[in-house]
Amino acid sequence: LQTLPPFQLARKYFQLFPEQHDPIWQNPCDDKRHKDIWSKEKTCDRLPKFLVVGPQKTGTTALYLFLVMHPSITSNFPSLRTFEEVQFFNGNNYHKGIDWYMDFFPVPSNVTSDFLFEKSANYFPSEDAPKRAAALVPKSKIITLIINPSDRAYSWYQHQRAHEDHAALKYSFYEVISAGHHAPAELRSLQNKCLVPGWYAIHIEHWLTYYPPSQQSTLSFNLALLKKKNNNKLFFFLLLIIDGQQLRSDPAAIMDEVQKFLGVSPYYNYSQALSFDPQKGFWCQLLEGGKTKCLGKSKGRKYPPMDLESRTFLSRYYKDHNVELSKLLHRLGQPLPSWLREELQKVR
Ligand code: A3P
DSSP states of 126-177 as a string? Answer: -SSHHHHHHHH-TT-EEEEEE--HHHHHHHHHHHHHHTT-HHHHHS-HHHHH
| CB of 199 shorter than 6 A to ligand 1 | no
- CB 347, CB 341: distance < 8 Å: no
**SS3 state at 214:** strand
For residues 23-56, b (16+ Cβ closer than 10 Å) or e, as one string? eebbbbeeeeeeeeebeeeeeeebbbbbbbbbbb
User: How much distance in Å is there from the Cα of 299 to the middle of ligand 1?
Assistant: 5
Mean of pLDDT values over 1-7: 87
| CB of 58 shorter than 6 A to ligand 1 | yes
**Ligand 1 atom closest to residue 151's alpha carbon, by position in its atom list:** 3
For a substitution probing ligand 1, which of 61, 146, 156 has the most ligand atoms within 8 Å of its CB? 61
| CB of 282 shorter than 6 A to ligand 1 | yes
Per-residue model confidence (pLDDT) at position 43: 84
User: How much distance in Å is there from the Cα of 144 to the middle of ligand 1?
Assistant: 14
**Helix or strand (DSSP H, E) at 193:** helix 185-195
Q: Name the nearest CA neighbour of 233 among 333, 324, 141.
A: 333
In DSSP notation, 243-289 reads: EHHHHHH-HHHHHHHHHHHHT-SS---HHHHEEEETTTTEEEEEPGG
For a substitution probing ligand 1, which of 299, 303, 339 has the most ligand atoms within 8 Å of its CB? 299
Q: ∠203-204-209 over CA atoms, to 5°?
A: 100
| CB of 300 shorter than 6 A to ligand 1 | yes
Per-residue model confidence (pLDDT) at position 222: 46
Q: For ligand 1, atom 3, which residue shows the shortest CA distance?
A: 155
User: Is the complex ipTM higher than 0.95?
Assistant: yes
User: How much distance in Å is there from the Cα of 278 to the middle of ligand 1?
Assistant: 15
Per-residue pLDDT tens over the stretch 58-112: 999 999 999 999 999 999 998 777 667 999 999 999 999 999 999 999 887 665 6
**Ligand 1 atom closest to residue 64's alpha carbon, by position in its atom list:** 6
User: How many angstroms from the chain centroid is the CA of residue 291?
Assistant: 30
User: How much distance in Å is there from the Cα of 295 to the middle of ligand 1?
Assistant: 8
Please give the single-letter amino acid code of residue 263.
G
Per-residue pLDDT tens over the stretch 14-23: 999 998 888 8
The CA-based dihedral angle spanning residues 268, 260, 110, 101, taken in that order and rounded to the nearest 10 degrees: -100
**Ligand 1 atom closest to residue 301's alpha carbon, by position in its atom list:** 2
pLDDT confidence band for 218 (50 / 70 / 90): very low
Q: Name the nearest CA neighbour of 216 among 232, 230, 236.
A: 236
- 224 pLDDT exceeds 60? no
Per-residue model confidence (pLDDT) at position 216: 57
Residue 57 is among the residues annotated as catalytic for this protein: yes
Per-residue model confidence (pLDDT) at position 214: 78
For a substitution probing ligand 1, which of 56, 57, 270, 306 has the most ligand atoms within 8 Å of its CB? 57
CA distance 89 to 103: 15
- 219 pLDDT exceeds 50? no
Q: pTM higher than 0.90, yes or no?
A: yes
- 217 pLDDT exceeds 70? no
Per-residue pLDDT tens over the stretch 148-185: 999 999 999 999 999 999 999 999 999 999 999 999 99
Mean residue pLDDT across the chain: 91
132-136: Cβ within 8 A, 24+ apart: 132/24, 132/25, 132/89, 132/94, 133/51, 133/89, 133/210, 134/210, 134/211, 135/24, 135/25, 135/26, 136/25, 136/26, 136/27, 136/47, 136/89, 136/98, 136/101
End-to-end alpha carbon distance in the chain = 69
42 or 293, greater pLDDT: 293
